[in-house]
Structure 1
Amino acid sequence: MMRALTVRRGAVLAAFVTFGALLSAPPAYAGTPGGGGHRAPALCGRLPQLEARIDRALARLDGDASVKGSIARIRERATVAEGNGHPQVAAYLEGVLATRRHLAPELRQRKADLALVKAWCAARPVGTTT
């Protein structure tokens, strides 16, 4: 019994040491000059589609009560459900509303990040992989 416990402790200790070494090691891509690698041209080529997708999502979220999926429409639906005596539906819609409210700032941040990627792509020579 004592031997098994010692072996088990040794295995756990080895696992922690290995895990710690993995966490403290620098990333494999840290030394890549310029970054990006072979996927950079594909990323730079997809920027217009990514921008359009984020813009569509923000337009939908920021739309008025007539726009399906907008924050205003969900708020209105929750109010109507509460007024009609459907508290479970109203509670569900309030949850959806909270999710959408958190999504809008995140999409704005992604749009700002995408602008940085766009600048990075513009600074790279066309067709390079480094």
Structure 2
Amino acid sequence: MKIFFDGGCRPTPGTIELAVVVRGRATILRDQGFGSGTDAEWLALIEALRTGLSLGAEPFVLLGDCAPVIEQANRRARARGSSDDHLRRFLELAGERQPAVRYVKRSQNLAGIALQKLHPR
């Protein structure tokens, strides 16, 4: 199962909003605190993980378009500052079941597309 995630804030830093899309259904969470774009991406990834875990034993992959967060979640890059805190929360939530976290282009990220619809140009 594919679970798409994306987070953002306007302005940056600013109020965080995030989206998770699974099985064609978008869940958008607004007013998720104050932070940077990176904080928003981490919170979206953590929400996507919660969503996947809540759906049961079916294997899932988490798909997002923020390469630095994905590299850190996969332990291929060092997380510093608030990213380190977010990584610890992510790993604690994942437990023994380390989910696949993969990069997709912005144009293919259904969660990013859902967030973009909130802010037409």
Q: Structure 2-normalised TM-score?
A: 0.24
Q: Comparing both structures, which one devotes a greater share of its residues to helix?
A: 1
Q: For the pair shown, which has the larger CA radius of gyration, 1 or 2?
A: 1
